[in-house]
Amino acid sequence: MVCYTDGVVEAEGPQGRFGQDRVLAAIGRNGVPGRQVLDKILADLDEFTKSWPRKDDITLLVADLE
């Protein structure tokens, strides 16, 4: 289960907004532990936004349901 605030998908970088598709791409792999999903989303977000300032909070909650 992955929960996130709008600050994740609305984070801006040189190419526009991060968007839900990038979040879904990071979590779309079955069998990946929650911690790895969280780390992947954060790494992708950092790479996408580069040094652009963040205008909103970034909150993520990832839980393994097994």
Overall average pLDDT of the 32-47 stretch: 90
pLDDT score at 15: 92
pLDDT score at 32: 79
Contact 8, 61 (CB under 8 A): no
Query: What pTM does this model have?
Result: 0.85
Nearest Cα neighbor of 11 from 2, 20, 40 is 20
pLDDT score at 21: 95
Nearest Cα neighbor of 56 from 19, 21, 5, 16 is 5
pLDDT score at 30: 66
Contact 8, 58 (CB under 8 A): yes
